[in-house]
Amino acid sequence: MNMSFVVPVKESLKMEYQLPPPPITTPNLVPHQVPVGVMQGTLNHIQTVQDDNNRWTQYHQLWRQHVYMNVSTMSVYMKVIGNDSKLGKILNRDFLGERSRYIEVGTEKIMLPGKFEEYYERIKDFEVRDDDVYILAFPKTGSRWVQEMVWLLLNNLDFKKACEVSLDLRSPLLELEAIFENLVGDFHYFDAVVNLESPRCIRSHLIWPLLPTAISNGTKQPKIIVILRDPEDICTSYYYQAKGIEGYSGNWNDFCELFLGGKVPFGPFWKHVLSFWEQRHRPNIMFVSYKKMKADLIGNIRNVASFLGKKLSEEDVIRMHEHLTFDNLKKSEGFNMEHLIKIKKVDVNPFIRTGVVGGHKNVMSPEVIEAFKQQREHYLTGTDLTFD
């Protein structure tokens, strides 16, 4: 069933369902069928009117708490996050930036920018190729670092191109257009991913159930690399990115509270990371520890190359190690994202700030560190998952 939405006046909305002839008579919509686009206010009732060709739905007043379930599949839970909780108020006050709203998606209630609604089906229907390689991780886990490594392995160690062409053009984030409403320039990132020449290196921050269906149901089994990092360090790094490029205007303590409460984009963190850990027995998945990458970069280069079936000489390994060091990437125009930093006019580059392990200890209060410790014990007990 195709559908389009029309908003003619402030006091009411009309939703047109374009239906093939003959006319179909249907009952009034129930609340879970109302689109996320109905943003604010209080809905009293919905009235459905039928003409010869279409069904029209008149919304009498608007409603603040609304839930939308995809009308064609009736399978996707989406709910706008309102101001009915402390975290919701902080989120909508301090973290909208250029975004208009946030939504909870799926049974896991993953928090995503509202624009994701427009891209959900395109991402689920994304055509996965057998020779794709996917880099999957929560934001600020070191995924761009691993992505740079994988891109080089898939592209015959083309260091020249890696230094001259930005990584976000060589290998765009799958859902980038779905999480930012005002991207700089007219480059279409989603189409770029679709049209990349094989083998593609594709990065995503989406939880396992929201990945392309061909991956989540096992129809296709491309190589997948999942990056793990301590959540305390992720939270610290995420704060600087949120302040720098995502429009977060709140303070550090409130951001920690949002993170712990699962109210940052792609959160809750624990649901996210455990969704991948549940897939650990799949032969096409490899887990990489950020902490181990920092401690033994050369060893991890060899391990990832072996996983991808790539043979490297000792000279190749040394050259890759030199390219992938923090100091070198900080200078590389193909990696450091300085073009975006100049546009955003921020003082600290959040894409390559310090990269240290345990940096959270310098900024987190003992109370926040204890809160993270308690969450670790709660969520990791019996899972065998570690970030070491």
- Number of residues written out for the chain: 388
**Per-residue pLDDT, 11:** 29
**pLDDT of amino acid 3:** 39
The pLDDT, as a whole number, for residue 354 is 64
303-317 tens-digit pLDDT: 999 999 999 999 999
pLDDT single digits (tens) 52-99? 444 333 333 333 333 444 433 335 789 999 999 999 999 999 999 878
Output the pLDDT for position 388: 87
User: Domains in the chain, please, with CATH?
Assistant: 1-71 (no CATH), 127-380 (3.40.50.300)
pLDDT (tens digit per residue) in 257-292: 999 999 999 999 999 999 999 999 999 999 999 999
Are residues 183 and 169 in contact, defined by beta-carbon separation less than 8 angstroms? no
Q: What is the mean pLDDT of residues 150-159?
A: 97
Residues labelled as active-site residues: 205
In the DSSP assignment, the letter for residue 385 is -
Please tell me the predicted confidence (pLDDT) of residue 331. Answer: 78
Q: How far is CA 201 from CA 71, 138, 179, 224, in A?
A: 33, 17, 20, 10
**Pairwise CA distance, residues 281 & 250, whole Å:** 40
Distance of alpha carbon 105 from the chain centroid = 12
Arithmetic mean of pLDDT, 185-198: 85
How high is the pLDDT of residue 339? Answer: 52
pLDDT of residue 168: 84
pLDDT, residue 98, reads 78
- If one compares 213 and 48, the residue with the highest pLDDT of the two is 213
pLDDT for residue 188 is more than 70: yes
- Write out the H or E segment, with its range, that includes residue 201: strand 201-204
Q: Is 248 helix (H, G, I), strand (E, B) or coil?
A: coil
**Order of all β-strands in the sheet with 67-69:** 67-69, 77-80, 102-105, 110-113
Give the strand pairing for 102-105 and 201-204.
unpaired
Percent of the chain, pLDDT > 90?
60
So what's the pLDDT on residue 90? Answer: 96
Lowest mean pLDDT among 42-56, 183-197, 319-333, 346-360: 42-56
Amino acid at 89: K
More confidently predicted of 47 and 326: 326
Contacts of 217-222 with C-beta under 8 Å, sequence gap 24+, read 218/282, 219/128, 220/128, 220/129, 220/130, 220/132, 221/130, 221/282, 221/283, 221/284, 222/128, 222/129, 222/130, 222/131, 222/132, 222/133, 222/134, 222/284
Query: What average pLDDT does the segment 31-48 reach?
Result: 40
**Of the candidates 276, 279, 114, the residue with the CA atom closest to the CA atom of residue 181:** 114
Residue bearing tokens 């303070």: 251
The proportion of the chain whose per-residue pLDDT surpasses 70, expressed as a percent, equals: 73
Q: What is the pLDDT of residues 328-361, one digit of tens each?
A: 887 777 666 555 554 455 565 444 556 677 888 8
Is the model's pLDDT at 212 over the cut of 60? yes
Give the CA distances from residue 231 to residues 102, 242, 376, 384, in Å, rounded to whole numbers and listed in that order.
22, 16, 9, 16
Across 12-19, average pLDDT? 31
Is residue 156 over pLDDT 70? Answer: yes
93-139 tens-digit pLDDT:
999 987 889 999 999 999 999 999 999 999 999 999 999 999 999 99
